Structure 1
């Protein structure tokens, strides 16, 4: 009798285990429970995987000696502003993994997002500085938006911005007085709390910062960029070219590519009516409209569209202009 009871008990327990696994499987399939950690960006993007391998084996990266390892991973679908994810770790690999998980989690929540362009930066130098002293340093910058350092608002880099984020979101206010009088007073240039919070809230859903801290950390990075062709480019890490692709040799191929890419971009700024978009304000995703409203306003009533001789001719809708990519390529 006892053996029969033991057998029945074991059979019942086995049944419960099977049922539990079936329920768990259903939950996992429905996405209500993640049995395994969320996929990393590296597993979802070929560009990220290639960049990781290059990044973690680059001699310049491995030679960096800093107190903490801070890695930034930036991703873009080529259509919208890049998103930046920060990771910190006792080793470079762990810092990469931390940033990689954050980027992967974002993509996991946005299934239609395709990370085509991926950039990786590692902090290679830092400087703690009082905000009032930073203001004086910023006042000495000759041109607006050419302060080539990132800024962290806390020691842990929990709220930290790459140089491109700082300038691309106008986190620094440059009063006209500074430009005309070259003022260097402690209050002549300020970190713009309003624009910082707009960026944090709009793109990351984060809580706004309450105040600009009395002390911040400025930093520079060593960076690499991987494009849609799976080509990895090292980036300049100093001077006015900071963050741009390095060019070792300017030969015919490089010049031809630059001309073709630049002319293609310019050509795409023409709309079907021949109106040219002179530029974009990246801070709030606005387009320059002054030209169309002021100089070219009369063209609204005239077709085919043409500029005066100062600007050359523009094509009527459906036509190619004299700087079409096809023409430049033939040249």
Structure 2
């Protein structure tokens, strides 16, 4: 028998071993009296959306056998070459009306509904939770909550059942919501699937440690490097439900994503990643950055974005990328450019108040937006502090200290911005002044409940916490400064940090989730934003990476 024929059987046998009890038998209760036990077998080949077979029987063993027969027949019939499988047994079933389910969906954040749904008592038209998400069946981009999408259901029904499926027309019609007990198997191993919570449907992670975090960093940084084209430009991002490219571009995110990739490369030292970084930085320097003459006669440089915009944050993240590259490689080729970028930032600051202007028009350099988004301020200060750390040029420190006069007066800490956390952590390394430490502590101290409770992965929260933690550790080590920590609940701070780090695994495209999307191999190993239709954009991956790299260093 060829390997193509034995592999599916081997996958099923390994799945059964995990799913069965100690005595090797399968057990489970009937989903409904009409359906009996219901077993789902989901094949993934990496290149296309998962294929599914269902078996029903009076017992779990009978349902398993029928599901296996159907699944293996499916492999033969369509010439499928599966490399992974999910096996799931319908477990907790909750009957309700269609109207009640719609009301529940209206109270659920979009893509955060974590139950399967059967539209009939026999479970002949039953959809798993990740299947619903992967085909955007309860997603409408026009509202924030989950909402039935009839067009996507019909499209999915044609592929899965060979016929159109429609939602019930009568709110009194019965439906059955359900969870499953399951297992996922591929060449790397076999894992029980998490049954409940925001990690439902993903492999269980009994050990959350440096090794596990490093695996996420390695695969996500490989993914990000793989998005850099031979030209040095990125594939900007994907909407994976239907494998659609995001048709826009943002040069600021090009630079900041390259910075995050450099942070990861510091760990991985991957030749493939380094080659991608080199292409990206060359594209940044040669195609995206423009040199300009400032009114005082000096020569500066600005990152140019769509609409001939010069964004304060754009220059800042360019500095972050070029400084990190210089530190890691010892290659000083970008040093003159870094000075020009820093001069460009300085020219956007009011020397009296310290306030930055956020957006200029190119090439006139007149003000387009005095203020656009709080991130730009923190990015600018952080970028200049990183350059100061490299060169010790006092000009850059002076700009940052002047900026902080404005930040403190304007109570910028109320924004709880991760970039402000980064920059104040860096500033206090060189200027350990009480007012700066107080700003940094205020930026996080009353935000811990949000970090603990936020339902979305919100990856910048881990960045905020990791930068704050570095500052807190230095405060704790200095008896003269330690009293500043009296207003910070250290136990809650530590719990919030650990919770947020672990929670980021819920935004990782595990292969057992990616298999339900249109092009699994394109997205597996990346990170996504769930409530934006599982969007994978370079800056989404960037923020997960930066936080987890810092967290890995902390664990080590």
TM-score (norm 2): 0.42
1:226 aligns with 2:226: no
**CA deviation string 1:134-192 (max 9, x = no partner):** 11111111x31010001111111111110011111111144745x3xx8xxxxxx6432
SS at match of 1:172: coil
1:69 aligned residue (27, 37, 49):
37
User: Considering only aligned residues, what root-mean-square deviation do their CA atoms show, in Å?
Assistant: 3.3
- C-alpha separation between the residues in 2 aligned to 1:233 and 1:48? 13
- C-alpha separation between the residues in 2 aligned to 1:222 and 1:74? 14
Alignment of 1:1-331 (within 5 A): 44-57=8-21, 62=26, 64-66=28-30, 67=32, 68-111=36-79, 113-141=80-108, 143-174=109-140, 176=142, 179=144, 190-201=147-158, 203-204=159-160, 206-212=162-168, 214-229=173-188, 231-291=189-249, 304-306=282-284, 308=303, 310=317, 312=321
- C-alpha separation between the residues in 2 aligned to 1:248 and 1:211? 38
Note closer, same or farther for the CA distance 1:212–1:282 as it changes in structure 2 (3 Å cut): farther
- C-alpha separation between the residues in 1 aligned to 2:84 and 2:153? 24
8 Å contact 1:193–1:212 — kept in the other structure?
A: no
- C-alpha separation between the residues in 1 aligned to 2:70 and 2:151? 25
**CA deviation string 1:263-282 (max 9, x = no partner):** 11222222222232343323
8 Å contact 1:236–1:245 — kept in the other structure?
A: yes
Instruction: Give the corresponding residue for 1:11.
Output: none
8 Å contact 1:270–1:277 — kept in the other structure?
A: yes
SS at match of 2:103: helix
Cα drift, residue 62 of structure 1: 4.7
Cα drift, residue 284 of structure 1: 2.2
| Total equivalences in the alignment | 260
8 Å contact 1:273–1:305 — kept in the other structure?
A: yes
- C-alpha separation between the residues in 1 aligned to 2:82 and 2:69? 14
**CA deviation string 1:118-138 (max 9, x = no partner):** 111111111111111111111
- Relative to its length, the structure with more helix (as a share) is 2
- C-alpha separation between the residues in 2 aligned to 1:209 and 1:234? 31
Extract unaligned runs of 5+ from structure 2: 255-279, 289-302, 304-314, 326-541, 543-548, 550-555
Note closer, same or farther for the CA distance 1:69–1:264 as it changes in structure 2 (3 Å cut): same
- C-alpha separation between the residues in 2 aligned to 1:271 and 1:58? 50
- C-alpha separation between the residues in 2 aligned to 1:64 and 1:163? 19
TM-score (norm 1): 0.69
- C-alpha separation between the residues in 2 aligned to 1:251 and 1:225? 21
8 Å contact 2:97–2:175 — kept in the other structure?
A: yes
**CA deviation string 1:14-33 (max 9, x = no partner):** xxxxxxxxxxxxxxxxxxxx
8 Å contact 1:71–1:87 — kept in the other structure?
A: yes
Instruction: Give the corresponding residue for 2:454.
Output: none
Extract unaligned runs of 5+ from structure 1: 1-40, 183-188, 297-301, 316-322
Cα drift, residue 253 of structure 1: 1.9
- C-alpha separation between the residues in 2 aligned to 1:63 and 1:138? 31
Note closer, same or farther for the CA distance 1:269–1:249 as it changes in structure 2 (3 Å cut): same
Note closer, same or farther for the CA distance 1:176–1:197 as it changes in structure 2 (3 Å cut): closer
